[in-house]
Amino acid sequence: MNANRKLYKIRLVLSLSNVNADFMQLILCMLVSHSIIGNPLYGAALFLFSSIWTIYFESNVRRLSGDRRFGGVMWLLLVASVFAGLALVFLYPVMAHMLKANFVSFFVLLVAARNVLSWKVNGSLSRPGLRSRLYKGLFQVLFFLPCLAFVPVLTDRTVMWVVLAGFALTGFLLSFQSSTMASLNKYIGNSRKDKLRDIASYKVFSNMALYAQIALSLGVLMYICYISFSTPSFDVYRYLLMAVWIVVILLLSGLSNRLIERNGKGVTLGMFIAGVAFWVVGSVMMFRVRGILDMALWTACWGVGLACITSALNRYNVDFKMVARIADRKVSDRDLYFRALITQSLAVIISNAVMLLIVTIWVFVIPDTHEPRIPGIFRQVSVQLPVVFMIVSVLFALRQPLDERSRQKLVNYSHGTSRNKSTKQNLRSSFVEKKRVRFGVRILAFFVKPFLHLKVSGKENMDMENFPSVFVCNHGIIYGPVAAVIYLPTYFRPWIDRKMVDRDMAAREMYSRFIYRIPLLSKSAGMRFARFLARPVTWALNSFDPIPVEKNNLRNVMSTLDVTVEVLREGDNVLIFPERPRRVTRGNKETVEHLTDSVGKLFTGFASIGKLYYDATGKCLRFYPIYASRQGHTFRIGKPVVYDPSVDPREEKQRIANQLHDKMLELGK
């Protein structure tokens, strides 16, 4: 298992190196174009055109016409790229009166041909050994000869040597790459059916990964093209700086990625969103740099964001091996690797096609201007377009049912700690079947967590091998529920008053609790304000997939207990707030409220879950006390109280409630 995972990571790094080699060759083509005709974007456009179609044919993605991601927009981009390429090759030299542009076309063709033939040679010499490496090196030496014949066209000797060194370096990298494209071509050709295609959560993930990688690739392309033309004068050292920038990004990303994955615990949806935030800030600020220090700072921000994003995507991708088991599919690390590589290839094609269309328009505009400067609209597009793709990726991420809590359920099932038919059906419903995911809780946690800064303790008291369990937390008005939602380090479904998950009932409850006390608000205005607040509140609360609680009569209470036991049998933990509120008088109105700095007496009815769960499963349920302290900024989890079936049910119910109350008071000291 560890060997397969290590092999998977090695292959993933090699596949990513193919894309990074493309960035180096793009810079090389832009340097040649800038030196010969004074327009670096012409070389960029030609290289993007060649890259689109070499990847399209050599990776065999043309066989993916049944993939939904390979839809009308994709075909439209491919057709538009053909017209853009023809216009660049045949119209531009005539319209711009630059027949020297044909030299640029020759150099780009040379680079593209070397890529294609290198992939084929690497594929045929895939066996490791000194002889294979010698043959690959000899092939690159032979391909270096046409470049030697080409460089006399370049009048600047510095440019000549830089081009020769760059061509040799990229050829060296190509000779040591794995036969990625050949392997992908073979995999797509032999795959009769995508084993993950009809799994709903994987569809969401594949779209999330696709748009994120489009944004990352497009962001690099935009910045390279922007820097190359940020000043009218030609400067070979600017291109060397861009190549160094690419290397620094790779080193920062690789180092950050290793540190993140070594820890592993933080690789979650939150890390993905945090990575997006870092990347967006770095992307925007890099277009406003005023010196080397500024560039280094925002490059570091960009690289850390990239590492967080790729770490989260890698973690998600590996997790789908467990999801496939729920769907009764056998998926190997090899399948996951190639599925990730297909998504990466589609992202490169789409990002290159989008960039090609933008650059082609710009190429035909520049010859008509006397002082070529960056148009304002291009500056805006350079910044905003990659960010738009990344925002779309975040929206898909928020729809992903495979969050950290549900992942823990998946791990428990895979390890056999909570394996039963109801658990499997619940997991299938969550991950395999198409299910609407409410992400209000995720938005709430993301924005509220920075303002709480609670220190969590007592995780060692949680016995995950004996999950599911019941977590009992103090209320503290609203502080306890908010803290528990954000900081409880496991999955759960909470008890929530039925009044607060129904919009109309929530509006009346909110008005009667606190809105009536707002001065200058009439009763009708107060109710309108309550209905306005009830909409986001009920939306957020329903995101928890709550167990509605109604206390009006015994039948409703028993129904809540029965649903709770069923939820526990499915493998979900339960979070409850059984603190009894006190009655107070505000003005001339009597209402109820919870203590803010202590724990009130607990209702005892919730403890009946212990007996019902034991009768249904024969297992003794654990009740964990939790105390969230506003003053101490702490979130403490205590040792559990375990249900004892040998004691009279009434006495046991009272014992559980009393011991939990005492333990919560101790945690609050």
Distance of CA 235 to the CA centre of its chain: 38
- Residue 590, pLDDT above cutoff 60: no
For 473, the domain range is: 447-497+544-667
Quick check: is 294 in a domain? yes
Mean pLDDT of 36-57: 87
- What is Dmax (Cα atoms) for the chain? 98
**What is the Cα–Cα distance from 403 to 316, expressed in whole angstroms?**
9
**What is the Cα–Cα distance from 292 to 288, expressed in whole angstroms?**
12
pLDDT, tens digit (0-9, with 9 covering 90-100), for 225-264: 777 766 667 778 888 888 888 877 777 776 776 776 666 5
Mean pLDDT of 170-182: 68
Give the pLDDT of residue 166: 87
pLDDT, tens digit (0-9, with 9 covering 90-100), for 54-93: 888 777 776 665 566 666 777 888 889 999 988 888 888 8
Band (13; pLDDT cuts 50, 70, 90): very low
- CB atoms closer than 10 angstroms to residue 402: 22
Please spell the DSSP secondary structure of 193-262, one letter per residue. S-TTTT-HHHHHHHHHHHHHHHHHHHHHHHHHHHHHTSSSS--HHHHHHHHHHHHHHHHHHHHHHHHHHH
- In single-letter form, the type of residue at position 345 comes to S
**What is the Cα–Cα distance from 322 to 331, expressed in whole angstroms?**
9
What is the DSSP pairing of strand 574-576 with strand 470-473? Answer: parallel
264: Cβ contacts below 8 Å, ≥ 6 apart: none
Quick check: is 80 in a domain? yes
Nearest Cα residue to 474 out of 593, 602, 572, 582: 602
- Residue 438, pLDDT above cutoff 70: no
If asked whether residues 151 and 202 sit together in one domain, one would say no
Which residue would you say has higher pLDDT here, 156 or 447?
A: 156
In this structure, what DSSP letter does residue 90 have?
I
pLDDT, tens digit (0-9, with 9 covering 90-100), for 643-668: 998 888 888 888 988 898 888 888 87
Question: Peptide bond before 649: cis, by omega within 30 degrees of 0?
Answer: no
Query: Taking a C-beta distance cutoff of 8 angstroms, is the pair 313, 212 a contact?
Result: yes
If asked whether residues 242 and 183 sit together in one domain, one would say no
Nearest Cα residue to 121 out of 137, 145, 144: 137
CATH at residue 633 = 3.40.1130.10
Band (633; pLDDT cuts 50, 70, 90): confident
Give the pLDDT of residue 460: 86
333: Cβ contacts below 8 Å, ≥ 6 apart: 4, 5, 7, 8, 321
Which residue would you say has higher pLDDT here, 459 or 124?
A: 459
Query: Taking a C-beta distance cutoff of 8 angstroms, is the pair 154, 31 a contact?
Result: no
- Residue 619, pLDDT above cutoff 70: yes
* Count of H-run helices and E-run strands, the chain: 23, 10
Quick check: is 649 in a domain? yes
Nearest Cα residue to 430 out of 461, 457, 408, 456: 408
Nearest Cα residue to 349 out of 56, 143, 643, 597: 56
Give the pLDDT of residue 161: 92
How big is the chain, counted in residues? 669
Quick check: is 538 in a domain? no
- Residue 12, pLDDT above cutoff 50: no
Give the pLDDT of residue 191: 66
Q: Where a domain ends, among 166, 195, 224?
A: 195
- Residue 14, pLDDT above cutoff 80: no
Nearest Cα residue to 298 out of 283, 313, 310, 316: 283
- Taking the whole predicted model, whether its pTM rises above 0.85 is answered as no
Considering 441-445, 515-519, 549-553, 639-643, the range whose residues carry the highest mean pLDDT is 639-643
If asked whether residues 485 and 427 sit together in one domain, one would say no
Quick check: is 442 in a domain? no
Considering 373-382, 492-501, 609-618, the range whose residues carry the highest mean pLDDT is 609-618
If asked whether residues 161 and 275 sit together in one domain, one would say no
What is the DSSP pairing of strand 493-497 with strand 582-586? Answer: unpaired
**What is the Cα–Cα distance from 373 to 230, expressed in whole angstroms?**
7
If asked whether residues 171 and 79 sit together in one domain, one would say yes
If asked whether residues 125 and 235 sit together in one domain, one would say no
Range with lowest mean pLDDT among 47-51, 529-533, 605-609: 529-533
Q: Mutual orientation of helices 200-228 and 292-326 as an angle, nearest 10°?
A: 160
**What is the Cα–Cα distance from 317 to 306, expressed in whole angstroms?**
16
Quick check: is 30 in a domain? yes
Quick check: is 521 in a domain? no
Band (106; pLDDT cuts 50, 70, 90): very high
If asked whether residues 474 and 416 sit together in one domain, one would say no
Nearest Cα residue to 472 out of 494, 442, 457: 494
pLDDT, tens digit (0-9, with 9 covering 90-100), for 416-437: 655 566 667 777 777 777 665 5
Q: In angstroms, what is the C-alpha Rg of the chain? A: 30
Considering 24-33, 293-302, 313-322, 522-531, the range whose residues carry the highest mean pLDDT is 24-33
If asked whether residues 177 and 273 sit together in one domain, one would say no
Give the pLDDT of residue 492: 83
**What is the Cα–Cα distance from 607 to 643, expressed in whole angstroms?**
9
In this structure, what DSSP letter does residue 163 have?
H
Considering 248-262, 293-307, 398-412, 550-564, the range whose residues carry the highest mean pLDDT is 293-307
3-state percent breakdown (helix, strand, coil) of the chain, nearest 5: 70, 5, 25
If asked whether residues 12 and 124 sit together in one domain, one would say yes
If asked whether residues 617 and 593 sit together in one domain, one would say yes
Query: Taking a C-beta distance cutoff of 8 angstroms, is the pair 315, 208 a contact?
Result: no
Q: CA angle 398-402-406, nearest 5°?
A: 120
CATH at residue 315 = 1.20.1250
Backbone angles phi, psi at 400, to 5 degrees: -75, 120
**What is the Cα–Cα distance from 48 to 355, expressed in whole angstroms?**
8
**Count of domains forming the chain:** 3
Q: Where a domain ends, among 389, 411, 437?
A: 437
Q: Is the dihedral of CA 409, 415, 421, 427 positive or negative?
A: positive
Instruction: Tell me the pLDDT of the chain averaged across its residues.
Output: 77
- Residue 299, pLDDT above cutoff 60: yes
Band (176; pLDDT cuts 50, 70, 90): low
Instruction: Specify whether the backbone of 87 is left (phi greater than 0), alpha (psi in -120 to 50) or beta.
Output: alpha
249: Cβ contacts below 8 Å, ≥ 6 apart: 220, 299, 302, 303, 306
The string over 429-468, giving b where at least 16 C-beta atoms fall within 10 Å of a residue's C-beta and e elsewhere, is ebbbeeeebebbbbebbbeebeebebeeebeeebebeebb
Query: Taking a C-beta distance cutoff of 8 angstroms, is the pair 12, 177 a contact?
Result: no
**What is the Cα–Cα distance from 19 to 41, expressed in whole angstroms?**
19
If asked whether residues 130 and 141 sit together in one domain, one would say yes
If asked whether residues 97 and 153 sit together in one domain, one would say yes
Which residue would you say has higher pLDDT here, 506 or 12?
A: 506
Residue 433's SS3 state is: coil
234: Cβ contacts below 8 Å, ≥ 6 apart: 34, 35, 38
Backbone angles phi, psi at 625, to 5 degrees: -80, 140
- Residue 474, pLDDT above cutoff 50: yes
Q: Where a domain ends, among 176, 195, 214?
A: 195
Quick check: is 340 in a domain? no
